């Protein structure tokens, strides 16, 4: 049986920082199990988070003014943000800003501290540029994250706060559990995301049903509306929802006057992977992220946009690795895109590489901004669709 071929790396990876990562750091990190490697990297990034001097060393050239966007009431240096799951305890966001991310979504944070699921619980699939995780919302809890956010102000980076249900909270008490996290953390957030779509907390995805989700959104919104500055509220959905369930959640988000949605979380589907099936089966349950999620997540994004129109702002997440993916998501209706798994396989320089390529595309098209480029390309898509029809 022929060995499956690895997916080719994106052509626009950074030739400097990413070359160091690919040739030196990645082999060392990949010699460790995935979670240990993450802890090693986290120790370095936490140092940068606390030190302006270290961040100055890490910081690359800022994005060109042509990449500035406005989304969810925020002015952002670029549309590229870091997805939830990397900075669970809110102790790396300034370091990630120095590496080029315009926004960082911390969490998922739960009201109660919890260790998550037993290890091993994080696995790389190099042939697919994918990761399987069953972390189980491991995080220090809302009170500890509150203290972390009080200690270090954001240094030029916008903060989202992603909140989930504590494992000790029953489904019946989920609304109060989410509300506690919103009460503690909402004042630090440029936006808040209600996460009901992780596959790794028992029963959590059942909260995506409109009857279960409505009281959660209402409870969180009540806490946020008591703040002097009310952050936009979004909900994050799974890529495995049936079409009719997606439509129902979109309708509920509009009904509840949410600012937007995040599409999407990880998938439990394993179809189409290049990694041999026996290896995938051995790794077990968990959410799959990375390149194989790309088309599924993009399709979900398009469906949400078609249903919501302009009534919701959208954040695209899932399999985004390069400038083509960013522009494709923006044309599909996203205001902001998020990546995470791409850093595992292509290194932290991938953000600057995306910025440079986007800048080149904007200039080459003679557009003054990325927004103008996206509108132009979207119109071309409509024209091509009409001609093919």
Measured torsion, CA atoms of residues 256, 257, 263, 266, in degrees rounded to the nearest 10: -40
- pTM value surpassing 0.75: yes
> Does residue 198 have an active-site annotation?
yes
pLDDT at res. 23: 81
- Which tokens in the block code for residue 177? 């559990």
Closest CA to 195 of 238, 252, 149, 255: 238
pLDDT at res. 6: 42
Q: How far is CA 271 from the centre of its chain?
A: 22
SS3 107: strand
Instruction: Please give the full DSSP string across 146-205, using - where no structure is assigned.
Output: HHHHHHS--SS-EEEEEE---TTS-GGGHHHHHHHHHHHHGGG-SEEEEE---TTSTTGG
pLDDT at res. 16: 59
State the Cα–Cα distance between residues 11 and 327, nearest whole angstrom: 15
Query: Other CB atoms closer than 10 Å to residue 387's CB: what's the count?
Result: 7
> Domains of the chain (ranges plus CATH)?
17-388 (3.20.20.70)
Q: pLDDT averaged over consecutive 10-residue blocks of the chain (389 residues)?
A: 40 57 87 96 96 92 96 97 97 97 97 97 97 97 98 97 96 96 98 86 71 94 97 95 91 96 94 96 96 96 97 97 97 97 92 96 96 89 68
pLDDT at res. 268: 93
Give per-residue pLDDT as tens, 123-161.
Answer: 999 999 999 999 999 999 999 999 999 999 999 999 999
Residues across the chain: 389
For 182-206, b where at least 16 C-beta lie within 10 A, e where not — what string?
Answer: bbbbbbbbbbbbbbbbbbbbeebbe
Q: How far is CA 307 from the centre of its chain?
A: 22
Q: Which of 103, 181, 197, 198 is catalytic?
A: 198
State the Cα–Cα distance between residues 189 and 162, nearest whole angstrom: 9
Which residues, listed in sequence order, are joined to residue 317 by a DSSP beta bridge?
338
State the Cα–Cα distance between residues 101 and 114, nearest whole angstrom: 28
Measured torsion, CA atoms of residues 331, 334, 340, 345, in degrees rounded to the nearest 10: 0
Crossing angle of the two packed helices 323-331 and 350-364, in degrees rounded to 10:
60
Query: For strand 80-82 and strand 103-109, is the pairing parallel, antiparallel, or unpaired?
Result: parallel
Contact (Cβ atoms closer than 8 angstroms) between residue 129 and residue 341:
yes
């Amino acid at each position: 049986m022929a060995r499956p071929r690895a997916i080719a790396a994106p052509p626009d990876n950074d030739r400097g920082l990413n070359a160091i990562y690919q040739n030196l750091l990645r082999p060392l990190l990949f010699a460790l199990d995935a979670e240990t490697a993450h802890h090693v990297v986290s120790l370095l990034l936490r140092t940068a988070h606390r030190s302006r001097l270290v961040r100055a060393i890490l910081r690359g050239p800022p994005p060109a003014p042509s990449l500035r966007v406005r989304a969810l009431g925020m002015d952002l240096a670029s549309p590229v943000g870091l997805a939830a799951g990397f900075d669970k305890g809110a102790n790396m966001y300034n370091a990630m800003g120095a590496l080029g991310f315009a926004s960082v979504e911390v969490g998922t944070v739960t009201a109660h501290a919890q260790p998550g699921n037993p290890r091993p619980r994080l696995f790389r699939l190099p042939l697919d540029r994918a990761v399987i995780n069953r972390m189980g919302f491991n995080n220090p809890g809302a009170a500890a994250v509150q203290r972390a956010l009080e200690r270090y102000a954001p240094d030029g980076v916008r903060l989202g706060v992603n909140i989930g249900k504590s494992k000790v909270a029953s489904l019946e008490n989920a609304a109060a559990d989410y509300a506690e996290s919103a009460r503690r953390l909402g004042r630090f957030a440029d936006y808040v995301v209600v996460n009901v779509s992780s596959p790794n907390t028992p029963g959590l995805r059942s909260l995506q049903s409109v009857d279960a989700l409505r009281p959660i959104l209402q409870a969180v919104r009540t806490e946020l509306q008591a703040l002097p500055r009310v952050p936009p509220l979004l909900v994050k959905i799974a890529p495995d929802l049936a079409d009719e369930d997606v439509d129902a959640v979109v309708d509920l988000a509009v009904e509840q006057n949410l600012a937007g949605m995040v599409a999407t979380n990880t998938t439990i589907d394993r179809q189409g992977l290049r990694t041999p099936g026996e290896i995938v089966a051995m790794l077990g349950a968990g959410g799959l992220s990375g390149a194989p999620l790309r088309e599924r997540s993009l399709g979900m994004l398009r469906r949400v946009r078609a249903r919501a129109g302009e009534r919701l702002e959208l954040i695209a997440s899932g399999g985004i690795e390069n400038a083509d993916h960013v522009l494709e998501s923006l044309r599909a209706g996203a205001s902001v895109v998020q990546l995470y798994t791409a850093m595992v396989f292509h290194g932290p320089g991938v953000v600057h590489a995306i910025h440079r390529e986007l800048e080149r595309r904007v200039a080459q098209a003679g557009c003054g901004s990325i927004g103008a480029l996206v509108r132009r390309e979207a119109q071309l898509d409509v024209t091509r669709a009409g001609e093919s029809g």
